[in-house]
A and B are shown apart, each in its own frame.
Chain A
Amino acid sequence: MGVARASLRSLLPFLVGAPLFLLVQLALDAKGWDDWTIVLVSVGINVVLAVSLNVVNGFTGQFSLGHAGFMAVGAYTAAKITLAFAGTKIAFLPAALSDQVIFALALSAGMAAAALAGFLVGMPSLRLRGDYLAIVTLGFGEIIRSVIENMQFLGGALGLSGVPPLTNLVWAGVSVIATVVMARRLAVSTQGRALFAIREDEVAAEAMGVDTTGYKVRGFVISATYAGLAGGLFVHLHQIATPASFTFIRSFEVVVMVVLGGLGSVTGSVVAAAVLTIALEALREFEQYRMVVYAFLLIVLMLLRPQGIFGTREIWDVPLLRWARLGRGGPAPAPGGASPTEVRDESGRGGRA
């Protein structure tokens, strides 16, 4: 019984969330609002990207700029698998369900491939800190993309087309839940605290028994895994996988979301990813100014609120909500979180001793 209750508790967010997303999807289908489906699924994909990048940039305080590379690995792996199995039916399952099972396998394979890529890139890069790590991850991201571009069996620069449109709101929603649940449970666990310790002071973390190299690589692999998931969802939404979707610009977008929401804040990443995705969708006619908007946003943010919307806190720690939750007598809210520059200063300081 204990085991049953424990697994129920561990799966509760999915049991509640999945039917909800299914209802919304059915309602949208009934109305024929396909554009809305695409926007909402895109929000979901960006939330998965932002929250997973936050594990490296926010929790661990390492500045990675290569998220699009891992997204690409997951995307191409998943697309290759669904394309290979297109038309194949698993004998004992109904046709619709068979596709979903294959999609689940493809997404899992994409995550595994991205995790492997994360490990291979993380092992050598994570010896570096701050700006150097940012440059190296940026380089690796571009290497992954150009390798894909030059592989004929992956379609070269044209990419893979005819990918089945399997991503829907349920898949995106469940992926968001999986990512957010992972990040939150990580944040309140021994493993998560080890990552925070590295962000705060690497030398002290090492002296207190934290295997800093090991944990940095682990954080990086976890982050890459979920980027792979986002990639798999992405190609099965747009039905095409091209190298052009996974350039440095994509990594940069995700970094903007994480910084905007607050480095280390899971809910901040969720909010920022949703707001930015919807805002850019609403301003589609100004698409060519996208990068200008991002740059402008970052400048304003650094001037007005360098720690991001939520800092390292979560949405339920915001003073107003705390007050509502705890009443007047509640403990004072923690002071604002570290700004990204402070975080990088910390890691720089770690390098001196």
Chain B
Amino acid sequence: MTPSPLEVRAVTMRFGGLRALTAFELVMRPGELVGLIGPNGAGKTTAFNAITGVYTPTEGEVLVAGERVNGRRPHQICALGVARTFQNIRLFRELTALDNVRIACHAGARSGFFDALLLTARHRAEESRIVARAEEYLEVLGLAHRRDEVAKGLPYGEQRRLEIARALATGPKVLCLDEPAAGMNAAEKGALMALIRGIRDRFGIALLVIEHDMRVVMGVSERILVLDHGVTIAEGRPEAVRRDPKVVEAYLGDAYLEERNIAVPPGGDPGAAP
């Protein structure tokens, strides 16, 4: 049996006296869509940082493809197959869209500095391979027309998509998206949901999505984890989580449920937008 692409075992993150994350557990199946929700400060991004190597877990362990990665540097964890986007967009702002994605294609590169210096055949073959790959990811994310534009000049929604293209180009088995819908309008959110499913279907990778927008997270996730004060208070299918009284109390609020029940029929597909 192949090991889970990402397994988190009882990870606790402590910062001085503050426990930001307590005994966080997560086993991702290949190709699974998992949502991670919770109020502000619940520990969602902390969980991401513990998984991707920005932090080393205080307790517990993180396994990527069966390999323990505690204490590894983020680029090593990336190479093992976990890529991420950032809550506050962190593109290489002064570089073109193509270069942003090309940098992420870097992991598999075999030619070195001297190949580049002497323009060896290996170097040139690899450079054209990288360009072709980067263009493919731009195409998939609908950014082909922005190829040579500087990242900071792109519209907000396209910057978000470019971040996803860049993360995909690292060739992950698990893609972690940190609030991909933040700042998007309703139409863009609909398109994003279709995109997230499309990515899973096309690349066959698992996605872990932090999201505040309930419509998005309920719409795309097959399984949802709810964090509150660093503790996982609920886990399960979206319909079940939505009705869990603990979740309602901690996060959604009674008003949300009322609004949902009246405004949108359960199981409606909000992803039908463009």
Residues on A close to B: CB < 8 A? 2-3, 6-7, 9-10, 181-182, 185-186, 188-194, 196-197, 200-201, 203-213, 218, 222, 312, 331, 334-335, 337-338, 353
Contact = CB atoms under 8 A, between A and B. Distances in A.
5 contacts: A200-B91, A209-B75, A209-B107, A222-B113, A353-B49
Contact of A207 (B74, B95, B118, B123): B74
B93 A200 contact: yes
A201 B170 contact: no
B127 A208 contact: no
B126 interface: yes
A208 B93 contact: no
A2 to B, nearest CB: 7
B90 A206 contact: no
B73 interface: yes
Nearest to B124: A6
Contact of A209 (B94, B106, B120): B106
B267 to A, nearest CB: 36
Contacts of A196: 92, 94-95, 99, 103
Interface in B46-70: 49, 52, 54
A201 B91 contact: yes
B112 interface: yes
Contacts of A335: 150, 152-153
Nearest to A218: B113
B75 A201 contact: no
B75 A211 contact: yes
Contacts of B153: 335
Nearest to A353: B54
A210 B75 contact: yes
B193 interface: no
A191 B130 CA distance: 13
B78 A207 contact: yes
B116 A207 contact: no
Contacts of A190: 102, 106, 109, 111, 116, 126-127, 130
Given A189-B127, A194-B106, A196-B94, 8 more contacts: A186-B117, A188-B127, A191-B113, A203-B90, A205-B103, A207-B84, A208-B104, A209-B170
B140 interface: no
B251 interface: no
Nearest to A203: B90
Interface centre among A192, A334, A337 (most CB of B within 10 A): A334
Contacts of B73: 206, 211, 213
B106 A210 contact: yes
Nearest to B89: A204
A185 B93 contact: no
A191 B94 contact: no
A106 to B, nearest CB: 21
B119 A208 contact: no
B84 to A, nearest CB: 6
B119 A185 contact: yes
A257 B90 CA distance: 30
A338 B92 CA distance: 12
A200 B89 CA distance: 12
Contacts of B127: 188-190
B75 A206 contact: yes
A211 to B, nearest CB: 5
Contacts of A10: 118-120
Contacts of A334: 96, 150
Given A194-B106, A209-B170, A204 B121 contact: no
Nearest to A200: B92
B54 to A, nearest CB: 6
Nearest to A194: B106
Contacts of A222: 113
Contacts of A337: 94
B11 to A, nearest CB: 18
B223 interface: no
Contacts of B52: 207
Nearest to A187: B116
A209 B90 contact: no
A189 B117 CA distance: 9
Given A10-B118, A190-B106, A197 B170 contact: no
B92 A197 contact: yes
Interface string B120-156: 1101001100100000000000000000101011000
B51 to A, nearest CB: 11
Contacts of A205: 92, 103
B264 to A, nearest CB: 36
A2 B121 contact: yes
A186 B116 CA distance: 6
B166 interface: yes
A56 B158 CA distance: 31
A6 B119 contact: yes
B94 A200 contact: yes
A260 B74 CA distance: 35
Contacts of A2: 121
A201 B90 contact: yes
A209 B102 CA distance: 12
A192 B109 CA distance: 13
B63 to A, nearest CB: 19
B94 to A, nearest CB: 6
A188 B99 CA distance: 10
B94 A193 contact: no
Contacts of A212: 75
B167 interface: yes
A2 B125 CA distance: 13
B119 A191 contact: no
